[in-house]
Amino acid sequence: MDKASKVADLAQRRGFYWPSWEIYGGVAGFYDLGPLGKELKNKIIELWKETLMKPLQRIIVELETPIITPYKVLEASGHVENFTDPITECKKCGRKYRADHLIEEKLGIKVEGLSPEDLTKIIRENNIRCPVCGGELSDVKPFLLLFQTQIGPYEGDKGFIRPETAQGAFVNFKRVYQYFREKLPFGIAQIGRVGRNEISPRQGLLRLREFTIAEIEFFFDPENPGKPPLDYDAKIRLLPWELAKQGQKEPVEVTIREALEKGWIINEWMAYWMLKAKELLNKLGIKDEDQYFEEKSPEERAHYSSQTYDQLVRTERYGWMEVSGHAYRGDYDLSRHIKYSGKDLYAFRKYKEPKIVKVKVVKFNPKEIGIRYKSKAKEIMEKLRKMDPEEVERQLQEKGYVEVDGEKIEKGLVWVEEREEKVTGERFVPHVVEPSFGVERLLYVTLEHALREKEGRLVLSLPRRLAPIQAVVLPLLEEEPLIKKAQEVWELLAKRFRVEYDERGSIGRRYARWDEVGVPAAITIDFQTLEDNTVTVRDRDTWKQVRVKIEDLPRVLEEFLEGKELEEIAGSQA
């Protein structure tokens, strides 16, 4: 069994995760999280918040926006047009395939980003046929990866399940800008479910049709982005596209300063979030040498991005696996929503000193207009006031009048004046960088990197603070006085910790049972306990034990979970 199989087997056997709707034969691309998997995920999300939100708590807020999203929002975002995969159908058996994957499997070449026409050509030239029945394949077409639905009882009201949480942040830019009393930069975090209707998902927990994203849309003024609290000397492993396109396969390790100076990372906030992402992965138990950032080529990038790095983690079966994406989305999304909604999603940039500028304004003679146009006068004047002065000037010059509601307002009744105005600043569309994490992928790599074998047994060496169950209380034997004492100890600890209790089977088997699901501390109640109220505490990873007074247990457990070693804590008791 390779590691992926071991993880999957453990996950199903012990309650981390399993395929959804098993009793109905399952559906590809959906997984359930079981009791331990859900708890682990909760802790990963907690750690994510602690690492990505808390250090900037004054400028990062969390929102929650709906999963069901109206058509026009995802039309504006470009998803309706661009969020597709190429699909081809067997003309004989009707099976459908992702065309690029099929070609990659058959020919061993990379074709990501090619057009449907190019893919069709490759299929024809290489005579690629249905891998199941050998039938002829159809022309390649784009397949929309959005799950579609209808909102309410009217058939025209189309909606989708969102493919990312980001759009919920963009459409709310103005609200949050006001929440922050119109100051930039700030970030909107969202953690929530998204759906991507993959054509034929495989790879278990790593390619799902529904999963949880944790992402931040970070808005800033491109002319004055603000300084992230960035450690310029910190090292980061990168494979920039500039090197990759020259054939380089391995990442280079550079300082943040260097990466910025060379232009490999185009923005300081990008660098900040990438460094945080590395830190998060470290906390999940992924070593530096098991992760790096790879820049996507222009063809591979999403439609909205001008630079994207993927954070990759080493996996045994699947190779380097993307767990987060870091995209410079620029002003793409806000500009699109301004265009599609007609609403003001601008920020305001104050000049250091007010500028005196000449502005043109439309003026008119209200009395004369009143006399001449009577009941229509009011509306005409309102429309004149709203007209572009340049346009008014042009019409007056060309035609000698301005046309409003079919009326010709003559020169003299309306004119354009220039006047000086003090302008304190200007509107602009903020830029955005986005760190975006696939939470189930984080869960998977955390499990794979934690799973070890020791003396032929599985031990899940999760970072202690991530452990779904923090301790287990074990009476040495299934005998009354020991059981009673063990129950008391359980009660004591259960107030503050998530603690299991287990009396079934030999003590060795019980240790093994709880090592396997990553319980950091096993607390054994033995006959000495009945005499002196001490218990043994056993470390999941070293299998070493120390004796501790029951009354000290909560403190010992807390310090142990925070990262101290048992010997150290027990030694400090004296």
What's the token pair of residue 249? Answer: 């396969």
Query: Measured at the alpha carbon of residue 522, what is the angle toward residues 537 and 547, in degrees to the nearest 5?
Result: 10
**Comparison of 171 and 553: residue with beta carbon closer to a copy of itself:** 171
**Comparison of 25 and 456: residue with beta carbon closer to a copy of itself:** 25
Please, which contacts does 538-547 make with residues 24 or more away whose CB atoms are closer than 8 Å? 538/511, 539/565, 539/566, 540/459, 540/461, 540/514, 540/515, 541/459, 541/461, 543/454, 543/511, 546/570
The closest alpha carbon to 218, from 230, 208, 210, 226, belongs to 226
Shortest distance (Å) from residue 226 CB to a copy of itself: 16
Amino acid at 151: I
Cβ within 8 Å of residue 301, ≥6 positions away: 307, 308, 327
Cβ(197)–Cβ(145) under 8 Å?
yes
Compute the distance between CA of residue 494 and CA of residue 365 in angstroms, rounded to an integer.
82
Render 134-148 in DSSP notation, one character per residue. Answer: -PPBPPPEEEE-SPE
Cβ(161)–Cβ(195) under 8 Å?
yes
Cβ within 8 Å of residue 407, ≥6 positions away: 373, 376, 380
**Comparison of 209 and 301: residue with beta carbon closer to a copy of itself:** 209
Shortest distance (Å) from residue 195 CB to a copy of itself: 6
The 8-class DSSP code of residue 297 comes to P
**Comparison of 61 and 302: residue with beta carbon closer to a copy of itself:** 61
Cβ(292)–Cβ(312) under 8 Å?
yes
Compute the distance between CA of residue 433 and CA of residue 444 in angstroms, rounded to an integer.
26
Compute the distance between CA of residue 137 and CA of residue 249 in angstroms, rounded to an integer.
34
Instruction: List, in sequence order, every residue forming a beta bridge with 418; answer none if it has no partner.
Output: 360
Cβ within 8 Å of residue 509, ≥6 positions away: none
Shortest distance (Å) from residue 175 CB to a copy of itself: 6
Rg of the chain in Å (alpha carbons): 31
What's the token pair of residue 382? Answer: 């309102």
**Comparison of 39 and 295: residue with beta carbon closer to a copy of itself:** 39
Shortest distance (Å) from residue 67 CB to a copy of itself: 6
Compute the distance between CA of residue 69 and CA of residue 148 in angstroms, rounded to an integer.
10
Compute the distance between CA of residue 483 and CA of residue 479 in angstroms, rounded to an integer.
6
Shortest distance (Å) from residue 332 CB to a copy of itself: 16
Shortest distance (Å) from residue 201 CB to a copy of itself: 9
Instruction: List, in sequence order, every residue forming a beta bridge with 359; answer none if it has no partner.
Output: 419
**Comparison of 57 and 224: residue with beta carbon closer to a copy of itself:** 57
Alpha helices in 245-302 (DSSP H): 256-261, 268-283
**Comparison of 74 and 416: residue with beta carbon closer to a copy of itself:** 74
Shortest distance (Å) from residue 154 CB to a copy of itself: 7
Amino acid at 197: N
Shortest distance (Å) from residue 301 CB to a copy of itself: 25
Amino acid at 556: V
Q: Is 224 exposed, middle or buried (0-12, 13-18, 19+ CB in 10 A)?
A: exposed
**Comparison of 244 and 507: residue with beta carbon closer to a copy of itself:** 507
Cβ(354)–Cβ(423) under 8 Å?
yes
Strand order across the beta sheet in which 141-144 lies: 96-98, 84-89, 141-144
**Comparison of 51 and 297: residue with beta carbon closer to a copy of itself:** 51
**Comparison of 168 and 435: residue with beta carbon closer to a copy of itself:** 168
**Comparison of 87 and 462: residue with beta carbon closer to a copy of itself:** 87
**Comparison of 161 and 238: residue with beta carbon closer to a copy of itself:** 161
